[in-house]
Amino acid sequence: MKRYDYIIAGAGLAGLMLALEMSKSSLKNKKVLLVDKDPKNTNDRTWCFWADEQFELDKLVYKKWDKIRFATNKSDANYTVDPYHYEYIRGIDFYNYAREKLNACENFTQLIGDISEISPKGFIIANNEKYEAEIIFNSIHPSFDNFSYPKGECYYLLQHFKGYFIETEEDFFDLSAATFMDFKIEQHKEARFGYILPFSKREALVEYTLFSQNLLKKEEYKSELENYISNALGIKKYKILHEEFGIVPMSTYSYQPKFDGKIIRIGTYGGFVKPSSGFAFARTHRRVKGIASDLEKYGKVNASSLEPASKYKLYDRILLSILEKDNTATKDIFEKMFTSLPASVILKFLDEKSSLAQDLRVISLFFFDKRFFFASMREIGRLIWK
């Protein structure tokens, strides 16, 4: 049996980000084992996020935009995100970078292995071998086919999408803005929108996205995406270079127990995805920085490093309770925000970095909206009587 200080189970976004943070501190002297069943040598996903300051992964940014487009049948405009940029990193570039950096750390071992057991007693079984550690960081979320959110305990939607990286025969894309949400499509009594990241006038990632509780059939994603490209966008001739599919939870589920014996949950499985937006990249980065800093200072992880500030939990509960009941409200709520406030304020609010004054600018938009009034009363009541 092999012993380590830390085992990172699942070396995807959260696992690799955590290992990179550890490798930059005195934790590089600890014995760390990273295990993933996948060699991570394909561009299996790509990440967008917004940033206003430099950080280590800046050098991996493949493309960035100064504006984002938000569109409905009533309003369609590009909004500047200054002081942010809307930034895009390809999964494969991140995996290669992390692998190379971690290979250079002599105490870090990267293992390709299928983990069949993770024990609170402090061991994992991978490829039928046992590995022990003082702390196991677990980022292995069960498949969404076998995972159900406890009813009555949390609000949830799934953000699910299919995307094509396409090349058109003629110049088509406007490079000045990334389309954040294009609601100018049939909503099917749900929240459905197009998402476009233009890389050149002829190349872009085009996605068909839904916020809903039920997944579509495989062929429906394909037909809706192709319908969006050829009918809504009017692109008749294009080549598909690559495809992307994703299911991201948007849930107020507490993902307990966060600490279970020697196991600590991280990543999507630790609730690192922002419940009301489905964005996870920047949030994950913040959380793993907190974890590494705790380990360095105290030799353990504080519960507070795994959670957002209480006010954001409350805002997420209020918004998701409304959207879970009627997800068609997504379009109107986001439209009101984009047409009334600078995009930078919205992004700051979604990024959980807003001041109270900025929160009030967002909240005041919905002050006289009955749905928000009743949802706020209910959720504040829950907090008080809990």
Ligand X SMILES: Cc1cc2nc3c(=O)[nH]c(=O)nc-3n(C[C@H](O)[C@H](O)[C@H](O)COP(=O)(O)OP(=O)(O)OC[C@H]3O[C@@H](n4cnc5c(N)ncnc54)[C@H](O)[C@@H]3O)c2cc1C
At 165, is the secondary structure helix, strand, or coil?
A: strand
267 binds ligand X per the rule CB under 6 A: yes
Tell me which stretch binds ligand X (CB under 6 A): 12-20, 23-31, 144-152, 230-238.
Answer: 12-20
**Which parts of 91-120 interact with ligand X (CB under 6 A)?**
114-115
Q: Which of 2, 28, 31, 37 binds ligand X (CB under 6 A)?
A: 37
Q: Which of 185, 280, 318, 337 binds ligand X (CB under 6 A)?
A: 280
- Using alpha carbons, select from 99, 235, 110 the residue that is nearest to residue 173: 235
Nearest approach in angstroms of CB 155 to ligand X is 19
- For ligand X, the closer CB: 139 or 354: 139
Beta-bridge partner residues of 162: 208, 245
Tell me which stretch binds ligand X (CB under 6 A): 44-52, 75-83, 218-226, 361-369.
Answer: 44-52
Tell me which stretch binds ligand X (CB under 6 A): 21-29, 56-64, 273-281, 290-298.
Answer: 273-281
- For ligand X, the closer CB: 245 or 361: 245
Tell me which stretch binds ligand X (CB under 6 A): 30-38, 175-183, 290-298, 363-371.
Answer: 30-38
281 binds ligand X per the rule CB under 6 A: yes
Q: How far is 180 from 67, CA to CA, in rounded Å?
A: 9
At 60, is the secondary structure helix, strand, or coil?
A: helix
- Output the CA–CA distances (angstroms, integers) from residue 355 to 111, 126, 287, 350, in the order listed: 43, 45, 20, 12
The answer for residues whose C-beta is within 8 angstroms of residue 184's C-beta and 6 or more apart is 71, 72, 73, 76, 194, 232
Q: Which of 279, 312, 315, 366 binds ligand X (CB under 6 A)?
A: 279
Q: Taking a C-beta distance cutoff of 8 angstroms, is the pair 135, 27 a contact?
A: no
Q: Which pair of structure tokens corresponds to residue 173?
A: 């894309």
The answer for residues whose C-beta is within 8 angstroms of residue 152's C-beta and 6 or more apart is none
Nearest approach in angstroms of CB 380 to ligand X is 28
DSSP states of 12-42 as a string? SHHHHHHHHHHHTSGGGGS-EEEEESS---S
Residue 300 one-letter amino acid: K
Q: How far is 17 from 13, CA to CA, in rounded Å?
A: 6
Nearest approach in angstroms of CB 382 to ligand X is 27
- For ligand X, the closer CB: 140 or 263: 140
Tell me which stretch binds ligand X (CB under 6 A): 5-13, 223-231, 311-319, 378-386.
Answer: 5-13
At 188, is the secondary structure helix, strand, or coil?
A: coil
- For ligand X, the closer CB: 194 or 267: 267
Q: Which of 6, 7, 10, 330 binds ligand X (CB under 6 A)?
A: 10
Q: Which residue is nearest to ligand X (CB)?
A: 12
12 binds ligand X per the rule CB under 6 A: yes
Residue with tokens 């080549």: 239
49 binds ligand X per the rule CB under 6 A: yes
Residues that bind ligand X (CB under 6 A): 10-15, 35-38, 45, 47-49, 114-115, 139-140, 244, 246, 248, 267-268, 279-281
